[in-house]
Each structure stands twice: as structure tokens, then as C-alpha cells.
Amino acid sequence: MEAWIQFLQFLVNALSLGGLYALMALGLALVYSILRLVNFAYGELVMVGGYTLLVVGQAANIPWLIVAALAIFVAVVTSLLLERVAFRPVRHASPNTMLITSFAVSTLLQNAALLFVSPRTRAVRIPSFFIENIRVGGLLISKSNIVTLVVSLAMLGLLTVFLRRTILGSALRAAADDFVMTRLLGIRANVVIATAFAISGCLAGVVSLFWIGRSGSVIPQIGLTPVLIAFVASVIGGMGSLAGAVVGGYMLGFVTIALNTLLPQDLLEFRQAFVFALVILVLLFRPQGLISGAYSAERI
């Protein structure tokens, strides 16, 4: 009985953290699958969402759901703006140029936050469900974990429907296979890329709600961990594969929670080291990631 409850507790925590990691990874992998760009400014989209929560949240009497919607909206707009202003001009340059551009954008946005907001940690107003727990039988579950779990599954579901059931969704998947060929079918490159950036921004916005909800505060470097997790998860899953990013995200979440539960107290602070040791092990045996973009190698 006791073990059963512990297992259920573990499952909820792992699915919640894994879902959040999967959303992070998906936002990064989506842009990568089409542009072959690892957008390191992705973390700053989470940051922008966080500062929207801070600034709008300070204004009294705005319901949190509206504040949250605004944060997602600002992240989407920022992502689209970055595509238009920073990445489109270097789209035809080498992948290295795009990568460096993303570092530059990331640094620029972080410094803007340092300069115009504050270098210090700022407390963000968060709704009560982030702190409350519910008790089911002997089970103590935080409400935020349940919300994170449900929202991440819903986002994955929505995205799947979009990618599978709409022409624009098929165009995105096709562009990941062979970008030139999609253009030869008349599908506009700008539309496909802008859509990828918009979805990436939306995912970053949703991530920002839960990521900032966990700590209750925001600092200019808040995006660093999410982008790192997203990168690691998509590498484990297989860079360029969307399904891989989701699998990698959930796996990372499960491993992290498992280590949290299993590691003795005095080793807990080395949790990240254990996680990355496992990542190295995975990559030793499957350097192409768990789910490789099966067909990408065939490209001419």
C-alpha cells in the first residue's frame, strides 16, 4: 500500500516535470527541424514571458489567466520579431552564422533585462494553486504538478492535431524533411519559418508560466536552465525529430525525479552530475539520439 502510493506520487511528479521539459525541448526542436538552427535565444523567450508576468502581474486586479495569456502573447510576438529582425537576414548564411546570431540575440536580451528591469531576483505574483497541495487518500500532490501535467499533455495534443490535420502542419513536417522541395510545391518559406517561430514562442510562453511558477521569481538569467534542458532533451531524443524531443524531455524529467527520490541526502546536490552522466551514457550507445530523423540522412 505504502509503496503503491509512493509510486503514484513519483509518477505524477515525473510526468509533470517531464511534460514541462518536453514542451521546452519541442520549442527548440521545431525551429531546428526546419532551419537547422539551435536557437539559443529560446531561453530569453521564457525570460520575456517571465518579465511580462512580473510587470503585468504588479498591476492590481488583473486575473492571473489574463496575465498568463499576455505572457504567452508577448513571447510569441518576441519570437516572431527575432525571426524577422535577427534570423531572416542571415537565413542563407552558414549554420554557424545563425548559431552565433542566436548567442548574440540571447546576450542582448539578457542585458536589456539587466539594464531596464533589474539585475536582482524579483518576486512574481503567482496564483495560489502553485503552492497548494491536495490530499487523495494517503497521497499528497501539489496542484501545480497536476496543472503542469494536464497543460503539457493538452499542448502536445493540440500540436499533434495541428501537425497532422492541417495543410500548414503537413507543410511544416515536409519542410523538416526537404525545405527546397516544399518551396517547389509553392509553399512560402517565410510562412513556414514564421509559423515555426510562433509555435516555438508559444511553447516558451507556456513554459515560462510553470517555470516561474515553480520558483515564484524572475531574474535575467532565468532562461539559461530551460534552454539547456531543451537542448539536452532534444539531443538525447535525436536532434531534428519532434517525437524525439518529446521522448527526451519526458526521459529527462523521469530521471531527474527518480534521482531525487533514490539518491541519499548527501548526494542530492550532485543530482545534475548524475543526470548528465546518464546523458553521456545514452549518447555513447546511440550517438544519433533515441529517435533519429530516420530519413534526413537520405537527403541529397
Partner 1 sequence: MLVLEDVHVRYGAIAALRGVSLHVEQGEIVGLIGVNGAGKSTTLMTIAGVLQPSKGRILFGGQSILGRPPEDILRKGIALVPEGRRIFPGLTVAENLRLGASIRSDRSEIQRDLEEMCERFPVLADRLGQAAGTLSGGEQQQLAIARGLMSRPALLMLDEPSLGLAPQLVEEIFELVAQLHEAGVTVLLVEQNVDRTLEIADRAYLLNTGEVEFEGAARELRERVDFVSAYLGGPG
Out of 9, 84, 177, 228, the residue judged to bind partner 1 by CB under 8 A = 177
Residue 181 as a binder of partner 1 (CB under 8 A): the answer is: yes
Q: Strands 139-142 and 217-218: what pairing?
A: unpaired
Kindly tell me which residue out of 4, 188, 276, 277 binds partner 1, with binding defined by CB under 8 A. Answer: 188
The residue from 185, 280, 285, 287 that contacts partner 1 (CB under 8 A) is: 185
Closest CB 182 distance from partner 1, rounded Å: 7
| Stretch near partner 1 under the rule CB under 8 A, chosen from 164-172, 194-202, 209-217, 251-259 | 164-172
- Say whether residue 139 binds partner 1 (CB under 8 A): no
Q: From the CB of 173, what's the least distance to partner 1, in Å?
A: 6
Residues 24-53, interacting with partner 1 (CB under 8 A): none
Pick the stretch among 97-105, 140-148, 180-188, 194-202 that binds partner 1 (CB under 8 A). 180-188
d(CA 74, CA 168): 23
Rule CB under 8 A: say whether 292 interacts with partner 1: no
Q: What is the dihedral of CA 91, 112, 70, 198, to 10 degrees?
A: 10
300 forms part of the interface with partner 1 (CB under 8 A): yes
Task: Note whether 174 binds partner 1 by CB under 8 A.
Answer: yes
205-to-53, 139, 264 alpha-carbon distances in Å: 10, 31, 35
Minimum gap (Å) between residue 297 Cβ and partner 1? 11
Cβ atoms 20, 211 nearer than 8 A: yes
User: Does position 170 bind partner 1 by CB under 8 A?
Assistant: yes
Helices of type H across 178-241: 179-184, 189-215, 224-237
C-alpha grid cell for residue 99? 548559431
| C-alpha–C-alpha distance, residues 95 and 97, integer Å | 5
Residue that has been written with the C-alpha cell 538569467 in this structure:
221
Residue 32 host element (H or E): helix 2-35
Interacting residue ranges for partner 1, rule: CB under 8 A? 167, 170-171, 173-174, 176-178, 180-189, 294-295, 298, 300
